[in-house]
Structure 1
Amino acid sequence: MKKQIFILFAVLGLGYGCSVSPKPIDYGHVGCHYCSMTIVDKQHAAQLVTTKGKVFNFDAIECMMNYLKDEDNSTIALFLVNDFDQPGQLVDATKATYLISENIPSPMGEYLSAFANEEAAVKTMNKEGGNIFTWAETKKRFKP
């Protein structure tokens, strides 16, 4: 009986320790996994979570995209970006709409912002100028 209880707790512990979920970014204290710059911008940060639950934080969407150029994307469970309209709120990067506008600087100078919904991106584009992109189109812009 004791052995069964030990096995149950071991299995539960392993499952809990390897959860695949976003983790809050500690703005102002954690560095970008790609460029090592301290992450302070809550509108442009990004995060990757691997299938094993390991989290990689980025100070800008472009840093995440550059990192993905050289990595095996099959080990990534979650692609996340900050919603420009809800600073600090991570959303699914594969479903986000992207805007490149020279009137909205991003930390690494690519002028790349993400929006949880297309309407918000179009509204911002109409105000600030620029071009709208999907996840697939954005990934292509960063391919070698």
Structure 2
Amino acid sequence: MKSLKHYSIYILLLLLFACNVAPKPINYGEDGCHFCKMTIVDKVHAAEIVTKKGKVYKFDATECMVNFIDDFETNEIALYLSNNYLEPETLIDATQATFLISENIPSPMGAYLSAFKTKAEAESVQSNKGGTLYNWSSLQEYLNNK
């Protein structure tokens, strides 16, 4: 009976920790992009997907993440995250972000794409750098039609 209780506790703990749906830190210079296989070094443009089962996919740029989800069951994805242009290494919810495509801000894969936590922040950078603003759905449509 005592061993059954121990096994039950072990299984419960395993289930709790096995399905942890949370982002994981990107190890810049070590982690590779799941889509293009390049080493992730840019602390401003990296991105990440977390599935509902807790699996994490890391990308060197938001455009790689968008290209990756074309071949993925999107109903399995819990989080879409992009690095905030104004706070390097800080992941933000890509579905709530505002994106700027400006040829004055290079990104790793050449899409000139940067993510911002708020529209006001994106508009402020846009006023200095130029470019076009997108929300998550319009960005996906733009990149998929390109």
Shorter-chain TM range is over 0.9
Partner AA of 1:43 in structure 2? V
- TM-fit CA distance, 1:141: 1.3
Q: Which residue of 2 aligns with 1:111?
A: 112
What secondary structure sits across from 2:87 in the alignment?
coil
Q: Which residue of 2 aligns with 1:85?
A: 86
| Counterpart-to-counterpart distance in 2, 1:72 and 1:13 | 26
Question: For residues 1-144 of structure 1, what are the structure 2 equivalents within 5 Å?
Answer: 1-2=1-2, 3-143=4-144
Which deviates more from structure 2 when the two are superposed, residues 118-127 or residues 66-75? 66-75
| Counterpart-to-counterpart distance in 2, 1:75 and 1:134 | 21
Partner AA of 1:12 in structure 2? L
What secondary structure sits across from 1:87 in the alignment?
strand
Tell me the number of residue pairs that the alignment of Structure 1 and Structure 2 aligns.
144
- TM-fit CA distance, 1:12: 1.6
Partner AA of 2:15 in structure 1? L
Summarize deviations over 1:4-47 as a string: whole Å, max 9, x none.
23212211222112200000000000110000100000110000
Task: Please give the root-mean-square deviation of Cα atoms over the aligned residues, in Å.
Answer: 1.0
Please give the TM-score of this superposition, normalised by the length of structure 1. 0.96
Q: Which runs of 5+ in 2 are unaligned?
A: none
Partner AA of 1:58 in structure 2? F
**Matched-pair identity in %:** 49
| Counterpart-to-counterpart distance in 1, 2:5 and 2:78 | 31
Please give the TM-score of this superposition, normalised by the length of structure 2. 0.95
1:105, 1:111 within 8 Å by CA — same for their partners in 2? yes
| Counterpart-to-counterpart distance in 1, 2:144 and 2:134 | 15
Q: Which runs of 5+ in 1 are unaligned?
A: none
| Counterpart-to-counterpart distance in 2, 1:143 and 1:105 | 20
Runs of 4+ in 1 over 3 A off after TM superposition: none
Partner AA of 1:116 in structure 2? K
What secondary structure sits across from 1:8 in the alignment?
helix
Summarize deviations over 1:77-113 as a string: whole Å, max 9, x none.
1100000000000011100000000000000000010
